[in-house]
Amino acid sequence: MDIFVCLKMVPDTSETEVRVDSTGKDILKVRLLYTTNEADNYALETALLLKEQFGGTVTVISVGTQSVDEILKMALAKGADKAIRLTDDLFLNGDAWTVAYALYQAISKNKFDLVLTGCIATDDGNSQIGPMLAALLQIPSAAYVTKVEIINNTKAKVNRELEGGLLEIKEISLPALFTIQTGINTPRYPSIIGIKRASSKPFEVLNATQLNIDPNKLAALTEIRQLYQPKVEAKAQFITGSDDEISTKLAELIKEKVGL
Amino acid sequence: MIALLIETRNINEASTSQGRVKDISFEMLTLAHQISQQHNYPVIALVLSNNCQPIVDEIKQYCHEIICVEDNCLENFNTQIYQPILHQIISELKPTITMIGHSGFGTDLAPYLATTLGLPLITDVFDVELNSTLLVRRQMYGGKIIAEVISKMLPAMITVRAGSFEKITASPSVNLNLSAKVTKKPFTLDQTIFEKSKFLGYGEVPTTGIDITKADVIVAIGRGIKEQKNIPLIEQFANEIGGTLACTRPIIDAGWLPKDRQVGSSGKTVKPKLYIALGISGAFQHISGMKNSETIIAVNKDPEAPIFSVAHYGVVGDVLKIMPVLANKIKELKG
């Protein structure tokens, strides 16, 4: 089973404040730590588990500047066989369509059974690239997948997450593309041996010319006009003081609301 | 012309209290009419089902036209079958804007469909302005940033966030009696599609017997709890006040609590008397599952966390420092 996994590098903003920069079109990047997008990490683990079960290869691919080599090398250290970075000013100034098209051009030149992506990126929250890429590759797709079971190397039985704890279960023929939801497995850490081996694995860097892409095809279809911080209409009445004073007030509040 | 895909419940899910048409569709109808009134555009609903009539009956007063595609293969939603049919319809109609719900179905379908149609797509939007260009607002960075995004051309497609607009059925300002013209559309499908994708059924996540939707008091934990070893302290506190422990998605993903403890759009929607949110910043997906609780107390170290926009009482601080003190206070009060 030959699998492509698309990885995106994102700033980790889950526990930090996010501010808009002076252009008004991007966030302030200083002091932010960059990592593999959370759902993409689960997609990679899904691929590595399938490779362990069925053999084959795992190729990781990302669009970005040299800085994304870090997450690609991490994926190689975890057990991916090959990394590809797509890099070109034409890719970097685009939107989801641009990135999907670049990935399509790179992946379609190879033989594959499965393409995996994360179901959502924590930065833009678009949830677009996976199904877009599937449409370009003209293969079936399933989004927000929480279980993948391969049948006879020709089909996959997948669970898709719907609202309110409901799942859609479907059978899809391969080759196919799935966007993987967080929590599907437990992503591994790279081993010391894995890290050592990573540096000798194939690592390709390709631009639009090398991929033979018509630049007109890469034009963004959407554009961010501006970013701003939402006004938090703090409805909450804030309880202040020392930890002890806060706790006393909270305890009384809880008693008042529900009794003890 | 504004077109929207009507999202419906499976026949088995529909009950007498709720019809076949899902709330998101009624919400999108409100948005469609906001735009329609400004531009004098007709509102066209697209209904794909094995039995369209009950769906048509629910929405016909709110649409200028309803396009129905009826076939047994459309009993259950399936992107691989819906996509080629919708592709045919939308490429003929060329609506200025096509709306699809940003739902489990919509996120599967819309990017695929927009790509085969060559349409710009903007997903998960909560506000829309259509003038000479389409400008939408949507959240980024887990709700910490709002983006204004434009489509560089029209027609375009958007997916609409649930709960962003009032349902047209509940809006007193909308008094529509349009009695839509209903058109049945034939379609052709490449039969190999049925080999490529088969709907097998719906399932539910396994339960451990705890039903958080029945709890009067919920103590919910999020990323701010930092480590699994901090959970027993919170669980003990929950027990002391007669509460049930619940959590956000990252806690489930880490495997620290079972899936049936998850509050939010992909978990459970709860409405307890008291909801205590500990170390939860308040991503939209979580808030949509708990915002109607009677009283909400939130403890979070980020004063700008969105959770404080729904909480009635807030504490800005480190949950891991406050909780041991609070647990002792509760013990004292109980004597």
DSSP secondary structure code for residue B89 in this structure: H
Residue B12's beta-bridge partner residues? none
| CB of B131 less than 8 A from some CB of A | no
- Best interface-test mutation with A: which of B121, B131, B334 has the largest number of A CBs within 10 A? B121
Measure the CA–CA gap between B296 and B285, rounded to whole angstroms.
Answer: 17
Tell me: pLDDT of B17 over 80. no
Task: Considering only the C-alpha atoms of chain B, give the largest distance between any 2 of them, rounded to a whole number of Å.
Answer: 74
Mean pLDDT of B192-219: 92
pLDDT at B11: 62
Pseudo-torsion of CA B96, B101, B106, B111, nearest 10°? Answer: 30
Closest CA of chain B from A200, distance in Å: 32
pLDDT at B172: 67
| CB of B329 less than 8 A from some CB of A | yes
DSSP secondary structure code for residue B159 in this structure: E
Which residues of chain B have a CB within 8 Å of the CB of A162?
A: 103-105, 202, 266
Closest CA of chain B from A119, distance in Å: 9
- Best interface-test mutation with B: which of A128, A149, A167, A172 has the largest number of B CBs within 10 A? A128
CB-based contact A164 B124, cutoff 8 Å = no
Which residues of chain B have a CB within 8 Å of the CB of A164?
A: 265-269
Tell me: pLDDT of B14 over 60. no
Give ipTM to 2 decimals: 0.95
Q: Write the pLDDT tens digit of every residue in B118-168.
A: 999 999 999 999 999 999 999 999 889 999 999 999 999 999 999 999 999
Beta strands A57-63 and A2-6 are parallel
Closest CA of chain A from B300, distance in Å: 10
Q: Which of B165, B211, B163, B170 is nearest to B310 (CA)?
A: B163
Contact (CB, 8 A) for B205 and B260? yes
Stretch among A4-18, B5-19, B259-273 having the lowest mean pLDDT: B5-19
Q: Write the pLDDT tens digit of every residue in B50-108.
A: 999 999 999 999 999 999 999 999 999 999 999 999 999 999 999 999 999 999 999 99
Mean pLDDT of B208-213: 92
Contact (CB, 8 A) for A72 and A83? yes
Tell me: pLDDT of B304 over 90. no
- Give the pLDDT band of residue A10 (cuts 50, 70, 90): very high
- Chain centre to alpha carbon of residue A39: 5
- Cα B22 to Cα A167, B5, B13: the distances in Å are 17, 11, 11
pLDDT at B173: 63
Which residues of chain A have a CB within 8 Å of the CB of B199?
A: 168-170
Measure the CA–CA gap between B81 and A208, rounded to whole angstroms.
Answer: 34
